[in-house]
Amino acid sequence: MRHFEYSRAGDVGQAVVSHAALQNTAFLAGGTTLLDLMKIDVMRPAAVVDINRVALKQIESLPDGRVRIGALVSNTDLARHAKVVADYPVLAEALLSGATTQLRNKATTGGNVMQRVRCNYFRDGVSPCNKRTPGSGCAAVGGINRSVHAVLGTSKSCIASHPSDMCVAMAAIGATVTVQGPKGTRDIAFADFHLLPGDTPEKEHALMADEMITHVTLDAPLAGAKSAYLKLRDRASYQFALASSAIIIRLEGGVIKQARIALGGVGTKPWRATEAEAQLVGQRPTPALFEAAAAAAFKTAVAQTHNAYKIPLGQQAIVRNLSTLVA
């Protein structure tokens, strides 16, 4: 690990000022991604600002039915919160499917939103990787790309899949990310926060270099809806998704009135499957309908050498989840 400056912030304003004082500064919260990447010399911040004493650990119910989550709320506390369990079970399930109890106790909401990819070539520090070293190439294209590489939203510059379970659930629910910088606060729609790689895969999110996440606000829950998170992986614990689905569905009189579907493990960002949703709304649930919706979700998929199986697997993540929810 390289030498870096360390400081501790007492409030958001101090954190933003300290971060802006030096170039190449990182915020330290749970550290479950940052410290790992610093140890393997992939991230090399000149300074680290510890924000663990900043008052961002509250979960608040808002008058309009939304829920406001502080950026420092741990994954464990969020998953066990009574409001989340009752109104957003898909989020609680997604959080509890990730990592281990110890990691969930440390990992934070803001850090999870900012979680970086698990691509072997990004993390080895030596292979060509446009995300780590822009313009160097993408070793995953034509390399080993079975498990942590995407089939949706890819480009010739990057095919790494987004690793977060929590973010997939939030993509289905709908949310707003509040950030603060030297010029004040602003809100970013969750759907717009994570960026597709395109020709600039080093730009992973819509956060400016001098901003930090302060809150994530979930949209109000759909009244009368059912939801679930289904994660398919190589083993049952401490493993990233090969394919996952977060689904929220509301039926009325035997007809699907609303449907929200987001996918994980298969996209370069938390993937909202709007084409699949459109297939479902206004229809009576049948196995054939679910198959058609799943096929629509992967209409634009591009498989790599070793991950073509993710297309039928991702389709099954949709079909199985829907079938369980309407049973």
pTM above 0.95, yes or no: yes
SS3 23: coil
**Does domain 228-326 fall into CATH 3.60.10.10?**
no
Task: Name the pairing type of β-strands 47-50 and 25-28.
Answer: parallel
Q: Which two tokens stand for residue 161?
A: 């899949």
- Token pair 């741990």 is found at 74
The beta-strand segments (E) located in the chain are: 5-8, 25-28, 47-50, 59-61, 67-70, 175-181, 184-189, 212-218, 226-232, 243-252, 255-264, 271-272
**In the block, residue with structure tokens 């600002």:** 49
Q: Which two tokens stand for residue 31?
A: 């550290």
Say what the pLDDT of residue 306 is. 98
Biggest CA pair distance of the chain: 63
Q: How far apart are CA 327 and CA 249, in angstroms?
A: 12
pLDDT in tens, the chain (327 residues): 689 999 999 999 999 999 999 889 999 999 999 999 999 999 999 999 999 999 999 999 999 999 999 999 999 999 999 999 999 999 999 999 999 999 999 999 999 999 999 999 999 999 999 999 999 999 999 999 999 999 999 999 999 999 999 999 999 999 999 999 999 999 999 999 999 999 999 999 999 999 999 999 999 999 999 999 999 999 998 999 999 999 999 999 999 999 999 999 999 999 999 999 999 999 999 999 999 999 999 999 999 999 999 999 999 999 999 999 999
Same fold flag, 5-52 and 228-326: no
* pLDDT attached to residue 209: 93
Q: Looking at this protein, which amino acid is placed at residue 124?
A: D
Q: What ranges do the domains of the chain cover? A: 5-52, 228-326
The pair of structure tokens assigned to 265 is 């493990």
Strands 212-218, 255-264: pairing is unpaired
Residue that the structure tokens 């030596």 belong to: 126
Q: What is the DSSP letter of 115?
A: P
Topology adopted by domain 5-52: 3.30.43
